[in-house]
Structure 1
Amino acid sequence: MKRAPRKPTVIVHKTDTLDYKNLELLAKCIGPQGQILSRRRTGLTTKRQRELKQALKRARHLSLLPFVG
């Protein structure tokens, strides 16, 4: 039996900008311990997931987001 595909828990639309200043969107893509959620959970493509990672790193280094939950 095939398992039904999971629906992403956080939906990031194509028009949403993955920028370090968009804290509301970045906060949705972080788990309770502060880790970046997987592509399965965010529903992003590989390229957009890399952009998300870079934006989160920038926001953390500028102290806009915590490193740990």
Structure 2
Amino acid sequence: MSDERPNQRPSNSGPRKKRPFQRRKVCRFCADKQVSIDYKDPRTLRYFVSERGKIIPRRISGNCSKHQREITEAIKRARNIALLPIAGSHASA
């Protein structure tokens, strides 16, 4: 038995496809200093919550880490005082 391993991929895998370049999203709170994060404003917070009620991650929403933490905290506070639903809009079906 030889210890040599082939350095090539199997022929059935095909060529690798590169992802198209996507422009990095800019944090809307850093770009516009007048927009604030407030737990009493559910209309703004709904933009960062999925239909199922999950908080949308940074890589999708485009927020910086500082503002993502603030949004997460505001969403949790709004859920505690029942301004936002905990499980999303289709949970009562």
- By how many angstroms is 1:18 displaced? 1.1
Aligned-pair identity (%): 34
Query: Scaled by the length of structure 2, what TM-score is found?
Result: 0.62
Note the residue ranges of structure 2 that are not aligned, 5 or more in a row: 1-17, 89-93
Q: TM-score, normalised by structure 1?
A: 0.81
Equivalent residue letter for 1:24: R
Choose between structure 1 and 2: higher helix proportion.
1
Q: Give 1:66's aligned residue.
A: 85
For 2:62, the equivalent position in structure 1 comes to: 43
Contact in 1 for aligned 2:39/2:74 (Cα 8 Å): yes
State the number of aligned residues.
67
Stretches (4+) displaced over 6 A: none
Q: Which has the higher contact order (CA 8 A, sep 6+)?
A: 1
Unaligned 5+ residue runs, structure 1? none
